[in-house]
Structure 1
Amino acid sequence: MPDKLERYRSKRDRTRTPEPIPAEAPPGGDGNAFVIQEHHARSLHWDLRLERDGVLVSWAVPKGLPADPKTNHLAVQTEDHPMEYLTFHGEIPKGEYGGGTMTVWDTGTYETEKWSDREVKVVLHGNRSSGRFVLFQTRGKNWMIHRMDGPARDPFPPLEPMLPTERAKPPKDSSAYAFEFAWGGRRLLVPIEGGRTDAAREHPWLRGLAESFGSRTAVLDGELATLGGAEILVFYDLLYDDGHSLVTEPYTARRSALESLGLSGGHWQTAPSWPGDAGPVRQAAREQGLPGVVAKRLDSPYEPGLSKAWLFIPA
């Protein structure tokens, strides 16, 4: 019987990598475990591994498992891996095959509905991933992965920003609002999926932000502002988070979810917000040369387009 791990061993040096490298051929087996590993290698991807005949049959999935049956994702079949890889995590040294950080993203069991050389149909039962999927070979060596059951998440919201209505004076019921700086910059909505964002086409430095989200999906609302001579993306709202739309949630819930992300980097930060009193915020905006403040109703949902729930008050 051919050694299914021969190709795996040929790509690795046991003196240079912490990965498990069994010395003997796998004994076979009929288990049904699976693992998905988040792999920050040369490019971020997820490795799906299904137990089959004593090894883990593996695919690298650059965008992770598809959440919607309308969208297929590329799946590149790689060499079979040893069973010990079910729990492997750690740092593969730079310069080695697959060099980078690997973490276990999900584990569980699966049911096989079909398994052939060109098509693998399974039902995953994991902590973070579940459902019916089919992996199928396309022309050449590439494979695709398709979700066969219903969407596992809410659809992305329309990418249209909520805009404030201008008003000369702050609202009288100030306790019903939070007050933020009006930055005077350019509005930017940032959708993130599979560790990537289309916004990076115009702003390549956003690739680092998107990759830090891993498999977490999000749509961030913010503004490109110039602070201290540097361009900073200031985020002040969260429309979508980890598969769930937040547009119908009140401002307070969206703001709490945004702050929990802890967004802080060399090119981006979370905007400050102060509930209850416009006076000090307006004065600070005036002193910093900002155009004014934005009053946001605490109970307001996210309404694309011009809204009276957000008020721009000049400094």
Structure 2
Amino acid sequence: MPVFVVQQHDARRMHYDVRLEVDGVLKSWAVPRGPSLDPVVKRLAVPTDDHEMSYATYEGVHEGARYGSGAVIVWDAGDYQNQTRDKQHQLIKPALAIERGHFRFALQGVKLTGSWAFTRTGRDGDWLLVKVRDEAADPSLDLTVTEPHSILSGLTIEEMAASAGSDG
């Protein structure tokens, strides 16, 4: 099963990087407000550069690094399953789904489970991340508020940022 990771990143602005393994790299979108469990809520998702697979477990503080400065934690991670189908109900490979502008997948993470979809919105190149209506949908729960800690280190983004200042 391919992997996914959601990294909280305090760069110029706080955001969540949603990354999905596709053809040996992590396809990535910056989601400013993080994933929502409410199927009615559409979250802006801005495509970013592909990342190496080794980046899936990165936590720390970038200083003017290639991927932007600021603290990073692994907010969630796990496996995902492609669910994108064509009009004949045949599975479409993830790379082709992304190229076509609609990618549906099921997450099996520590915090996030169930089905989700990225959909390109049109001319500006932005995408939307939407929770699919399923048993894991919960409009009353905001995991970005109730579950702020890294699944790897147990630190919040603020604690990770503070740890960089205490290295001296």
TM-score between both structures, scaled by the size of structure 2: 0.72
Query: Could you say what secondary structure the match of 1:78 adopts?
Result: strand
Give the Å deviation of 1:98. Answer: 1.3
Determine the structure 2 residue equivalent to 1:120. 103
Radius of gyration: which is bigger? 1
Give matches, 1:1-315, under 5 Å: 31-94=1-64, 97-114=67-84, 115=94, 116=97, 117=99, 118-139=101-122, 140-150=124-134, 151-154=137-140, 215-216=144-145, 242=146
Unaligned ranges ≥5, structure 2: 85-93, 148-168
**Structure 1 residues 95 and 50, CA gap change in structure 2 (3 angstroms):** closer
**What is the alpha-carbon root mean square deviation over aligned residues?**
2.0
Query: Could you say what secondary structure the match of 2:140 adopts?
Result: coil
8 A Cα contact 2:10 2:71, kept in partner: yes
Moved over 4 A (4+): 94-97
Give the Å deviation of 1:152. Answer: 2.4
- Per-residue CA deviation, residues 63-96 of structure 1 (Å, 9 max, x unaligned), is 1112101110000111110000110111110476
Higher relative contact order (CA 8 A, sep 6+): 2
Give the Å deviation of 1:97. Answer: 4.6
TM-score between both structures, scaled by the size of structure 1: 0.39
Give, as a single letter, the amino acid of the residue that structure 2 aligns with 1:152: D
Measure the CA separation in 2 of the matches of 1:110 and 1:44: 25
Query: Could you say what secondary structure the match of 1:86 adopts?
Result: helix
8 A Cα contact 2:36 2:43, kept in partner: yes
Measure the CA separation in 1 of the matches of 2:52 and 2:28: 10
